[in-house]
Amino acid sequence: MKLIGLNREEVKNALKTGRVTIAVYGMGKMGLPLAAVFADHGAKVIGVDINERVVENINRGENHIKEEPGLDELVRRNVEVGRLRATTDGIRAAKEADVMVILVPTLTDERGNLKLGPVYDVAEKISKGLERGDIIITEATMPPGTTESLIPIFEKSGLKVGEFGLAHAPERTMTGTAIRDITGQYPKIVGASDEKTLEAVIGIYETINGKGVIPMSSIKAAEAVKVFEGVYRDVNIALANELALWCEEHGLDALEVFQAANTQPYCHLHMPGAGVGGHCIPVYPWFVINLAKKTNPRLIKTAREINDSMPHHVVELTVKGLNDAGRPLKGSNVLVLGLTFRGGVREFMKAAAKPIIEELKEWGANVYAYDPLCTREDAERFGAGWKEDFRGIDAIVITADHREFKELNLERLAGEMRTKVIVDGRNVLDPEKARKYGFRYLKVGNAG
C-alpha cells in the first residue's frame, strides 16, 4: 500500500494491519533489529543483504547478531509467522516494497575519504524497482547532502522526486541496545523531500518509537543531527584525553577530578582511554572535515589527532610501568586484553589494540592477546600470540572494556604474573585494589 498522501494515523493503521511492505537494505547490527521491529509491529518486511549466509540464516529464523539481547526471539517469531523474510535480490525487493530503508555501511578509509559504495549499489537496485508513491528512507549515517545526491540514481527509474518520497531518519542507537533504542529510548529524527512524505514517515516511525518523532526542516538537517552527535562525542573524548595527560603531568587522578567536575550539570567530561574506534565515532568527524570548503574545522581535526595518538600513549605508560619495575620493554612478555574496539561488540574497526600491538613488537616485546569475543586466529591476524592465562606475563594492557575484564581475579593475576604491571586503557579496574595486590597500576590520567 502506497503511503504518500495518507496522514500519520492512516499510515500507522496500514502498517499495523499488514498492508505495508518495507524493504530494509543491510541486515547487519542495525538493519536486522530494525527489520525485526517493523515486522513485530505488523509490517511485511523484506530484509535485503548481499551476504547469502546472512539471508539463509534469517530465512531459517536465525539471528546472526549475537550482541543484541532479545533479537533472537524477535527474528524467530516474525519469520515463523511470515512477516519477516530475507533475500539477496534487491531489485525484486524494491518492486514489492512500498518503503525502502537503506541501512548499509557508510565508511571512510584511514584518511577519512568516503567509501559509499554500498549506498550507491543499493540506490541503483532500488531505482530498478521504484514505483510511484514509494518512499525511500536512508537510515545509515550520511555525510550531510548525501541522501539528496542519490536523487539522480533514483530518477533513473523514470520517476521524479515528488512522484516518490525521499527521507533521512538516522539510526540513533548502538550495538547492544538497538531494540531498546529503536522502540523508544530517543525520539526519531526525520527530514523529508516534501510535506506529504514527511507526514507518512512520521506515521511510520511513530508506529515503532514510543518517544515519537522530531521533524526537521530538511533532509540535510536530519543528516547533520546524527553526524554532529558523533562529532560531539569524538571532540569530548579528545578533551578528556588531553586533560588526562595534564593530570598525569601534575600527579592527579583524572577520573577523581572528572567525576567531581561532572556533578555540575553543565560539565560532561568523557572517559579518557586508549583511543577511539568503531564504525561511528572516528568516522563521522571526517564527514564534516571533508565537506568543509570555506570553514576550517580545526578543533574537529585536532580532536581526531589527539584520539589517534592515545594508543601510543598507552605504550609509553607500559614502558614506564616496566621501567619502574626494573624491566626494559624489550624481551618482556606483554598480554594485551581486548582486540575489539570496545567491550561487548565483536568489531575491529580502528581498534586501539592494533597499533598498540604493533608498537610493542617494534620495541622488542613478546606480545600476546586475549579477548572473550575473539579467537586465536584474530590474535594472530593482529600479530600477537593467543594466551588465556597470565603465567610469565610482565605487563597487562587493557584496550577494551569487556565485562570479563572488569571482573579480573587480581589475586590470581598476582600469583601467575612474573612482573606485576597493569596498564588499564579503559579504566575498568579499581586502582586501590590493584595496588593492594602489589601491582604497579597505570591508566590514562594516572601514571601511578
Ligand X SMILES: CC(=O)N[C@@H]1[C@@H](OP(=O)(O)OP(=O)(O)OC[C@H]2O[C@@H](n3ccc(=O)[nH]c3=O)[C@H](O)[C@@H]2O)O[C@H](CO)[C@@H](O)[C@@H]1O
Closest approach of Cβ 443 to ligand NAD, in Å?
25
- Judged by CB under 6 A, which of 71, 201, 243, 281 binds ligand X? 281
CB 40 within 8 A of CB 119: no
Residue nearest to ligand NAD (CB): 28
Residue 42 touches which member of ligand NAD, ligand X, none, C-beta under 5-8 Å by kind:
none
Helix residue ranges per DSSP H, 250-325: 254-261, 284-291, 298-308, 310-324
Active site residue 247: no
- The rounded distance, in Å, linking the Cα atoms of 181 and 37 is 11
Active site residue 226: yes
Binding of ligand NAD at residue 173 (CB under 6 A)?
A: yes
- 38 or 341: whose CB is closer to ligand X? 341
Tell me the one-letter amino acid at 229.
Answer: E
- Judged by CB under 6 A, which of 15, 20, 48, 86 binds ligand NAD? 48
Strand positions, DSSP E, 53-98? 84-87
- Judged by CB under 6 A, which of 6, 161, 271, 325 binds ligand X? 271
Partnered with residue 333 across adjacent β-strands are: 366
* Count of residues in contact with ligand NAD, rule CB under 6 A: 27
- Judged by CB under 6 A, which of 155, 229, 253, 404 binds ligand X? 229
Residue 281 touches which member of ligand X, ligand NAD, none, C-beta under 5-8 Å by kind:
ligand X
- Pick the piece of the chain touching ligand NAD (CB under 6 A) from 28-36, 248-256, 366-374, 430-438: 28-36
- The rounded distance, in Å, linking the Cα atoms of 352 and 112 is 17
Tell me the one-letter amino acid at 264.
Answer: Q
- Pick the piece of the chain touching ligand NAD (CB under 6 A) from 45-53, 242-250, 368-376, 386-394: 45-53
| Residue in this structure with the C-alpha cell 527521507, named with its chain if needed | 167
CB 140 within 8 A of CB 106: yes
Q: With the C-alpha atoms ordered 344, 348, 354, 356, is the resulting torsion angle positive or negative? A: negative
Q: How big is the chain by its Cα radius of gyration, in Å?
A: 24
- 1 or 271: whose CB is closer to ligand NAD? 271
- Judged by CB under 6 A, which of 14, 27, 237, 244 binds ligand NAD? 27
- 20 or 93: whose CB is closer to ligand NAD? 93
- The rounded distance, in Å, linking the Cα atoms of 99 and 94 is 8
In the region spanning residues 342 to 401, those forming contacts with ligand X, defined by CB under 6 A, are: 342
Binding of ligand X at residue 168 (CB under 6 A)?
A: no
Partnered with residue 423 across adjacent β-strands are: 397, 442
DSSP letter for 407, please: T
CB 429 within 8 A of CB 398: yes
251: left (phi over 0), alpha (psi -120 to 50) or beta: left
Site string for ligand NAD, 93-122 (x = CB under 6 A): ----------xxxx-----------x--xx
CB 219 within 8 A of CB 167: yes
- The rounded distance, in Å, linking the Cα atoms of 354 and 226 is 28
Closest by CA to 144, choosing from 319, 334, 290, is 290
Closest approach of Cβ 399 to ligand X, in Å?
9
Closest approach of Cβ 397 to ligand X, in Å?
14
Candidate list 29, 188, 280, 374, residue with the active-site label: 280
Q: With the C-alpha atoms ordered 173, 178, 180, 184, is the resulting torsion angle positive or negative? A: positive
- 140 or 428: whose CB is closer to ligand NAD? 140
Binding of ligand NAD at residue 234 (CB under 6 A)?
A: no
Binding of ligand X at residue 29 (CB under 6 A)?
A: no
Candidate list 44, 125, 226, 387, residue with the active-site label: 226
Binding of ligand NAD at residue 171 (CB under 6 A)?
A: yes
Binding of ligand X at residue 173 (CB under 6 A)?
A: yes
Closest approach of Cβ 81 to ligand NAD, in Å?
23
DSSP letter for 334, please: E
- Pick the piece of the chain touching ligand X (CB under 6 A) from 216-224, 229-237, 361-369, 378-386: 229-237
Per-residue 3-state assignment (H helix, E strand, C coil) for 138-167: ECCCCCCCHHHHCHHHHHHHCCCECCEEEE
CB 109 within 8 A of CB 144: no
In the region spanning residues 264 to 293, those forming contacts with ligand NAD, defined by CB under 6 A, are: 279-280
Closest approach of Cβ 189 to ligand X, in Å?
11
Closest approach of Cβ 391 to ligand NAD, in Å?
36
| Residue in this structure with the C-alpha cell 594492557, named with its chain if needed | 397
Strand positions, DSSP E, 221-365? 333-337
Catalytic residues: 226, 280
**Which residue ranges make up the site for ligand NAD (CB under 6 A)?**
25-31, 48-51, 54, 103-106, 118, 121-122, 140-141, 171, 173-175, 279-280
**Which residues contribute to the site for ligand X (CB under 6 A)?**
171-175, 229-230, 233, 237, 270-271, 273, 276-278, 280-281, 341-342
